Structure 1
Amino acid sequence: MSVSYTQRRRDSDQQQRKREIYDSGNSAVILPYDPARKTVLLTRQLRLPIFLQDGEENVLEACAGKLDGATAEERIRKEIEEELGYRIVEVERLFELYVSPASIMEKIFFFTCSYSPAQRVSGGGGLKEEGEDIEVVETTLENAAKMVATSQIIDAKTVVLIQYLSARVRSPGSV
Structure 2
Amino acid sequence: MKINMISDELLSDNWFVLRKYVFDLPRRGGGVVRQMREVYDRGNGATILLYNLARQSVILTRQFRLPTYLNGNPDGMLLEACAGLLDGDEPEACVRREAMEETGFHVGEATKLFEAYMSPGGVTELIHFFAAPYEPAQQSGRGGGIEDEDIEVVEMSFVEALSAVRDGRIKDGKTIMLLQYAQLQGWCNP
Quote how far apart the aligned CAs of 1:170 are: 5.5
- In structure 2, the partner of 1:34 is 52
Moved more, 14-23 or 64-73: 14-23
Instruction: Structure 1 unaligned segments of length 5 or more: list them.
Output: none
Compared with structure 1, are the counterparts of its residues 59 and 38 closer, same or farther at alpha carbon in structure 2 (3 Å cutoff)?
Answer: same
Supply the distance in 2 between the matched residues of 1:153 and 1:11 (Cα, whole angstroms): 42
CA contact (8 A) 2:53 2:187 kept: no
Asked if 1:111 corresponds to 2:111, the answer is no
Contact 2:83 2:98 in 1 (8 A): yes
Larger Cα Rg: Structure 1 or Structure 2? 2
TM-score norm. by structure 1 comes to 0.93
Do structure 1's residue 22 and structure 2's residue 13 form an aligned pair? Answer: no
Deviation at 1:13, TM superposition (A): 1.1
How far apart are 1:34 and its partner, in Å?
A: 0.5
Give the aligned length.
169
RMSD: 1.2
Q: Could you tell me which amino acid in structure 2 is paired with residue 56 of structure 1?
A: D
CA change 1:170–1:120 in 2 (3 A) is closer
More strand by share: 2
Aligned equivalents of 1:57 and 1:21: distance in 2?
Answer: 24
> In proportion to residue count, which structure has more helix?
1
How far 1:56 sits from its partner (Å)? 3.0
Cα displacement string for residues 55-87 of structure 1 (whole angstroms, at most 9, x for unaligned residues) = 233110000000011000001001111101111
1:143 positional shift = 0.8
Where do 1:1-175 residues align within 5 Å? 1-54=19-72, 55-127=74-146, 129=147, 131-169=148-186
Which AA in structure 1 matches 2:80? E
* Overall identity of the aligned pairs, in %: 43
The runs of at least 4 aligned residues of structure 1 exceeding 4 Å deviation read none
Q: Distance in 2 between matches of 1:99 and 1:56?
A: 23
Displacement, 1:8?
0.7
CA offset digits 1:12-37 (Å, max 9, x no partner): 11111111111100000111101110
Q: How far does the alpha carbon of each residue in 1:34-60 deviate from its partner, in whole angstroms, 9 at most, with x for none?
A: 111010000001000111111233110
Q: Larger RCO: Structure 1 or Structure 2 (Cα < 8 Å, ≥ 6 residues apart)?
A: 1
